[in-house]
Amino acid sequence: MALKVLLVDPDEEWLASASEFFKNALYQTKAVSNGKDAQLALYNDKFFAVILNYSVKNHNGLQVLKFIRTNHPSQKVILVFNDEETMGGQEKEEKYKKLGATEIAVKPFEISHLADLLEGHQSLGDLMSTLPKKEGVSDEVEVQESDNEFTGVKIDEFFSSAAVLFDVYVKLSSGKYIKILHAGDTFSQERIDKYKNDKGVEFLYFHTKDRRKYVQYNNFIAKKLISNKNITGMTKIVQLKNVADKYLEEVYTEGMKPQVIEQGKEIVNNVFNFVEKQNDLHQVLKDFQAFDAEAYEHSFMVSVFATSIIKQFD
């Protein structure tokens, strides 16, 4: 079922463009051009998010924001300003967030920027429920794109839901890839095995824009593995390492955005639960040292520096 988004903006032309964009991105939209209609819409329906222009009239944007905070305190709100002057700088930005704005966006920007902000707040359940599912597996497609647009994971360590969350590729050469699974396809282990066993492929690739989905899903898998006593400690620690590696890539490229921090908290909780519940932790760590000595040494040095920093706060 499509997620509902309420668009509130005095510019009718912008509303039409934004509505079309979000519908193509598989959202369900309702567009209004004044604050009174926005409040009425919120009274009559539930929305995944509200994209609210501060300059809306009758009632103004600030009134609508306060209405949402009072009546729908958990509502996600992207507050849009027409320019930096209207927004009023960093100090005002913090004020608007305290009043209930989840994100701030200042024009000019591409409408796709708003879609990125919305996606950052989708739960795994949201992602799964809005995924356009297809029966079977689509044809493989060769594409040419910059290597910088992709990130890779070992083929032996790739997990997928029954319906593939994002496009999956095999790298043919620099800048040349073949899409072997399409988002929404029924996952095909047979196709993965064909490339692994018959063609000797060692890595699968996906777009960096889908990295957050990868982290979100694989952190969910890590949580399930950690709670299962029949799964080996090595399997659990390798899964945690894969999630952490991609998470660090996300931090490096996206910065410490609120939704990135929230993902980090979930990963840390999984690591803590693993350490707490794994009775043979010492042996697992010794096995991991033999499995990936470089990663083990790096982890050790990070622990040393982290401990040194923490000691300064004693």
Whether residues 294 and 188 fall in one domain: no
- In a domain, residue 130? The reply is no
What's CA 238's distance to the chain center, in Å? 21
Whether residues 9 and 114 fall in one domain: yes
Q: How far apart are the first and last CA of the chain?
A: 51
Whether residues 164 and 202 fall in one domain: yes
Furthest CA-CA distance within the chain: 67
pLDDT of residue 133: 75
pLDDT of residue 127: 76
Whether residues 263 and 164 fall in one domain: no
pLDDT of residue 91: 76
Checking phi first, is residue 136 left (phi over 0); if not, alpha (psi -120 to 50) or beta?
A: left
Residue 114: CATH number of its domain:
3.40.50.2300
Final residue in a domain of this structure, among 87, 121, 155: 121
- In a domain, residue 169? The reply is yes
pLDDT of residue 309: 59
- In a domain, residue 232? The reply is yes
Whether residues 217 and 307 fall in one domain: yes
Q: For residue 165, which phi and psi values (nearest 5 degrees)?
A: -75, -25
- In a domain, residue 286? The reply is yes
Task: List the chain pLDDT tens, one digit each, 314 residues.
Answer: 678 999 999 999 999 999 999 988 878 899 999 999 999 999 999 999 999 999 999 999 999 999 999 999 999 999 999 988 888 877 788 889 889 999 899 998 889 889 888 887 877 777 777 777 788 889 999 999 999 999 999 999 898 888 899 999 999 999 999 999 999 899 999 999 999 999 999 999 999 999 999 999 999 999 999 999 899 888 898 898 899 899 989 888 888 777 788 888 888 889 888 888 888 877 877 777 776 777 656 665 566 556 555 566 66
Domain range enclosing 243: 212-311
Whether residues 8 and 72 fall in one domain: yes
Amino acid at 211: R
Whether residues 72 and 111 fall in one domain: yes
- In a domain, residue 133? The reply is no
Whether residues 114 and 13 fall in one domain: yes
- In a domain, residue 129? The reply is no
Whether residues 194 and 108 fall in one domain: no
Whether residues 216 and 206 fall in one domain: no
**What is the number of domains present in the chain?**
3
